Amino acid sequence: MNRFGEEIIMPLLTVTNIVNIVEIGAEHGTNTLKLLAYCKSKNGVLHVIDPVPQFDVDGFRQRYGEAFKMHIGFSLDALTGIKDYDAVLIDGDHNWYTVYNELKIVEENAEVRGEFPVVFVHDIAWPYGRRDLYYYPDLIPPEYRKPYAKKGMEPGRSELLESGGYNLIYNNAAFEYGDKNGVLTAVEDFLQQTSCRISFLKSMKHNGLGILMSEDMSKLFAAELNQLPVWEEEYHYGG
């Protein structure tokens, strides 16, 4: 997600004047720092959700004060308690069950607030677009959890490799594609079912970034969106 910061995320937040933001999955806080500098300068608030943030949370609190709200926990628990936001960055547990349900929580809140927020979803391309990864397998109900192993992957091959390969330290689903498998599948399943009118923009570089936003907003900012050097495809869903 971090690699899209300068090119897409910050320009889009700036042009839409969105200042209340949720970041799911912060890891070392690289993207978090960019978002915090922005939110503080605009009197906004950044909510960060991560069960094991790998940065100095107290140091961030001291530096960013009221602009920084840390939620140490899992997205599906913490997100239900956050109501006041206009953008969400999804980059936590990269599996169908988690991403689909994060989007359902966002949709529920949007129905109360009256507008679907801008939602950035990382990892819609290989390797996790069509394959689940489980940071916390025990949190996924068994009926949604694929067989998995700490084994590596290579593009164009569904089975995991016996040795070597990409991301071999993670719990990767044993096969690619199929029902309810992967981040892009979760986004597409959500979009097929939602009654909100949503535009979906995709860039497949850097492991893939999807952006969901209300169709009204995508029309309002059509010229600015066209300036961003990323869109490979655009779809309209819902309503």
Task: Provide the binding-site residues for ligand SAM, judged by CB under 6 A.
Answer: 1-2, 24-27, 30-31, 49-52, 74-75, 91-93, 98, 135-136
Q: Of all residues in this chain, which one has the CB nearest to ligand SAM in the complex?
A: 25
Q: Closer CB to ligand SAM, residue 91 or residue 107? A: 91
Q: Closer CB to ligand SAM, residue 136 or residue 177? A: 136
Residue 193 backbone phi and psi in degrees, to 5: -100, -20
In the bound complex, what is the minimum distance in angstroms from residue 46's beta carbon to ligand SAM? 12
Closest CA to 212 of 187, 229, 182, 239: 187
Q: Closer CB to ligand SAM, residue 52 or residue 112? A: 52
Angle ∠(123,211,64) on CA atoms, nearest 5 = 85
In the bound complex, what is the minimum distance in angstroms from residue 57's beta carbon to ligand SAM? 12
Longest dimension (CA), the chain: 51
In the bound complex, what is the minimum distance in angstroms from residue 27's beta carbon to ligand SAM? 3
Q: Closer CB to ligand SAM, residue 31 or residue 214? A: 31
Q: Closer CB to ligand SAM, residue 186 or residue 214? A: 186
What secondary structure, in 3-state letters, does 175-224 show?
Answer: CCCCCCCCHHHHHHHHHHHCCCCEEEEEECCCCCEEEEEEHHHHHHCHHH
Task: Give the separation between CA 136 and CA 166, rounded to whole angstroms.
Answer: 19
Query: Of all helices (H) and strands (E), which one includes residue 70?
Result: strand 68-71
Task: Give the separation between CA 71 and CA 48, rounded to whole angstroms.
Answer: 6
In the bound complex, what is the minimum distance in angstroms from residue 10's beta carbon to ligand SAM? 13
In the bound complex, what is the minimum distance in angstroms from residue 123's beta carbon to ligand SAM? 8
Q: Closer CB to ligand SAM, residue 25 or residue 117? A: 25
Task: Give the separation between CA 133 and CA 143, rounded to whole angstroms.
Answer: 15
In the bound complex, what is the minimum distance in angstroms from residue 221's beta carbon to ligand SAM? 23
